[in-house]
Amino acid sequence: MGRWLKPEVYPLLGAMTFVTSMCLFQLTRNAFMNPDVRINKAHRASAVLENAEEGQKYSRHGLRRFLLQRPPEVMPAINTFFAGSRKE
């Protein structure tokens, strides 16, 4: 990579690459799959779209369905360790 890139910069470079790729993914997903975004002229001509089921499908993607089945804890093992095993 040359003299200007030091090894200390690699973690920062990795984090910035990850964040940039996540932003590009979300931008692309919203531009092409969001039912509220109208890119072509035919869809822009209609004032109100009746697409409630398409909006439900867009908002209930696979990751959200997976997370809805999980408990709302970030680290459940640590929470149970510090809370104790007995229930009162």
26 found inside a domain: yes
Q: What is the pLDDT of residue 47?
A: 66
Instruction: Examine residue 38 and state whether it is found in any structural domain, yes or no.
Output: no
Q: What's the pTM?
A: 0.53
Q: Confirm whether 41 is domain-assigned.
A: no
Residue 76, domain member (yes or no): yes
Number of separate domains in the chain: 2
What is the structure's pLDDT at 86?
54
Domain that holds residue 72: 51-83
Please name the residues in contact with 73: beta carbons below 8 A apart, sequence gap of 6 or more.
79
Q: How many helices (H) and strands (E) does the chain have?
A: 5, 0
Let me know if residue 88 belongs to a domain. no
Question: pLDDT tens for residues 14-37?
Answer: 999 999 999 999 999 888 888 777
Residues 1 and 29 in one domain: yes
For the ranges 2-11, 25-34, 79-88, the one whose mean pLDDT is highest: 25-34
| pLDDT tens readout for residues 42-82 | 766 766 667 778 778 778 888 888 888 887 888 888 888 88
